[in-house]
Amino acid sequence: MNIELKKKSVLNWWKILAILLLFYTVIGGLLMEVPRRDILNESIRNLYFHVPMWFGMIIMLTISAVASIGYLSNSKSRFDIIASEMVNMGAIFGILGLITGMLWAEYTWGKFWSGDPKQKASVAGLLIYFGYMVLRASFSDDQLRARVSAVFSILAYPTFIVLIFVLPRLVDSLHPGNGGNPGFNAYDLDARMRMVFYPAVIAFSLLGVWIATLRIRIRTIDNLVIDKNYEKENSVILDHKVK
């Protein structure tokens, strides 16, 4: 019994870390001193929430793409569940990242939506993964759904990376680090902000993966229950035929 408890505590260390880092991020993000910059002022604190959301999204979409490759390699349903749930949670983080970015834009650029290339690319990238969800819902056959979705996910991932990280850097943009604008790393993200920013990235990434793993467990249990009920129904039908 003690050995099992020790194993569980070892396996759950990263969840405890996620909770601690989230508390640290919220408290540090709101209360710790930040650089005083023209226009940005106190809104620079949003860096602790807006950017980590996108980092978490990228991590979850990466896991989804890897799981999709895993499914095409051995056709295990668990890989399909992982891929789909990571996309679902990644999309939620993407929406939250977009909302926090729009709120930030209202205070720094003067309006929620300015047609900035990175804003447009972000929406386009999210629409690709919304298409993934619609595609999955359009199939009734589980195996066909999993195979087509896996191919879609693998192709969508590099397209999304290009939209988010490559194309906005080729044109003029209001975002830091794009279109000739200096990035935060160059003049804003000093040692004080790094003390909160990096833990925030880890915290939100772990939170997203944690929620996704809960969803994966629920769906795995649901599938097991369905399989057992199916086996029972078949056994009952066979018994009636034998009698």
CA 4, chain centre distance (Å) = 31
- What is the tens place of the pLDDT at every residue in 175-194? 665 555 545 554 456 777 88
Which range of residues forms the domain containing residue 29? 20-242
CB 193 within 8 A of CB 52: no
Average pLDDT, stretch 68-96? 94
Q: Are 115 and 157 in contact (CB under 8 A)?
A: no
Q: Are 184 and 176 in contact (CB under 8 A)?
A: yes
1 within a domain of the structure (yes/no): no
Within a domain: 5? no
pLDDT digits (tens, 9 = 90+) for 130-166: 999 999 999 988 899 999 999 999 999 999 999 988 8
Q: Residue 174 falls within a domain, yes or no?
A: yes
* Token reading at 190: 């000093």
Distance separating alpha carbons of residues 27 and 170, to the nearest angstrom: 37
- Number of CB atoms found within 10 A of residue 78's CB: 15
- Confirm whether pTM is higher than 0.75: yes
Do the domain assignments include residue 81? yes
Q: Is a pLDDT exceeding 70 seen at residue 19?
A: yes
Please identify which residue in the block is written with the tokens 């029972």: 232
Mean pLDDT on 72-97 = 94
- pLDDT the model gives residue 193: 86
Tell whether 9 is covered by a domain: no
Say how many domains are in the chain.
1
15 lies in a domain?
no
| 6, part of any domain | no
